[in-house]
Amino acid sequence: MADDRFRYSYNSLVYYEEDTATSVDRVARFGYDAIEIVGEPSRIDAKQVARLTKGAGIGVSSICSIYTADRDLVHPDPDSRRAAIRYVKDLVDFAATMECPTVVLHPTANGKTQPLADPAEEWKWAVESIRTVGEYAAGRGVSFSLEAWNRYETYFVNRLEQARRLWKETELTNGGVQGDTFHMNIEEVSIPDAFRASEGVLQHVHLADADRTAPGGAHIDFEPILEALLDIGYDKYVAFELLPAMADPFASGRHEEFFDRYTERAIRYLRAVEDQVRTRRELAGRA
């Protein structure tokens, strides 16, 4: 692991309509290694992001894809699937321009909680669509992280075990699965065990507390989670994805505490937890 520390990122989704320069400056100022950028290539200038992040000495960890109803990779209508594939391919180009390694992937629209076709057929479309975008991404040096979402945001892939099965069926090698502690707190029997079982195929991590605010504010215990990530030798980014308490995670609106306050608190708290875990492991001879 670089410098023997986790590499931290902050998802700028919650910096609602702020200009990118201000967001990049805040994340760099609070000691982050990278920023996660919203997946809207028509609204965000990738070249400008590349310039700003380089200038600030940080990277772009990941693209937070926005899977609205018209970006559904398992839609029964082939034209709709093609439109979703086009969107994800555009995200791959967007990521490549910023030298961003990872695009977040989910097979269906956020907020779609019922299948529109036979589940076996939808699974087949998911494998096909992901393989298509994955092969395109491989040619551009970009990887995917297949993220599991909780049951109130999707019926399709709620747990890491399902994400691993789907990813394996695509036979792709550029990427793997993604755990988000907010979703995992709802769906997994054990968050650390779900991460451990993803050894070798974990591509990205989203961290948030149980109420989706900064870790340390609610009831998720981050020590065993970091312990599990160290056990499996996880060496990619951990990104805070902190969002207000609204049914639609993509709903807009300015929520002041998610700007300076949570950006600072999240990294300060997690670094302190990380130090504790690493010290304990050193003392136990398990660096």
Can you give the length of the chain in residues?
287
Contacts of 176 (CB under 8 A, 6+ apart): 143, 145, 146, 167, 198, 200, 201, 202, 203
| Helix extents (H) in the chain | 20-29, 46-56, 78-97, 119-138, 160-170, 181-187, 191-196, 222-231, 260-283
Indicate the residue type of 157: V
Please list every residue from 159 through 188 that binds Mn ion, using CB under 5 A.
180
What minimum distance in Å lies between the beta carbon of 67 and Mn ion? 11
Interacting partner of 110 out of ligand LER, Mn ion, none (Cβ under 5 to 8 A depending on kind): ligand LER
Region near ligand LER per CB under 6 A, out of 43-51, 126-134, 145-153, 275-283: 145-153
Is 187 a binding residue for ligand LER by CB under 6 A? The answer is no
Q: Which residues contact 228 (CB under 8 A, 6 or more apart)?
A: 191, 192, 193, 195, 196
Tokens, residue 194: 């779900």
Segment near ligand LER (CB under 6 A); pick from 77-85, 146-154, 254-262, 267-275? 146-154
Secondary structure tally for the chain: helices H, strands E: 9, 8
Site for ligand LER in 193-252 (CB under 6 A): 206, 241, 249
Taking CB under 5 A as the binding criterion, the range among 36-44, 125-133, 198-206, 276-284 that sits at the site for Mn ion is: 198-206
Which of Mn ion, ligand LER, none is residue 249 near (CB under 5 to 8 Å by kind)? ligand LER
Site residues, Mn ion (CB under 5 A):
180, 206, 241
Site residues, ligand LER (CB under 6 A):
64, 104, 110, 147, 149, 153, 180, 206, 241, 249
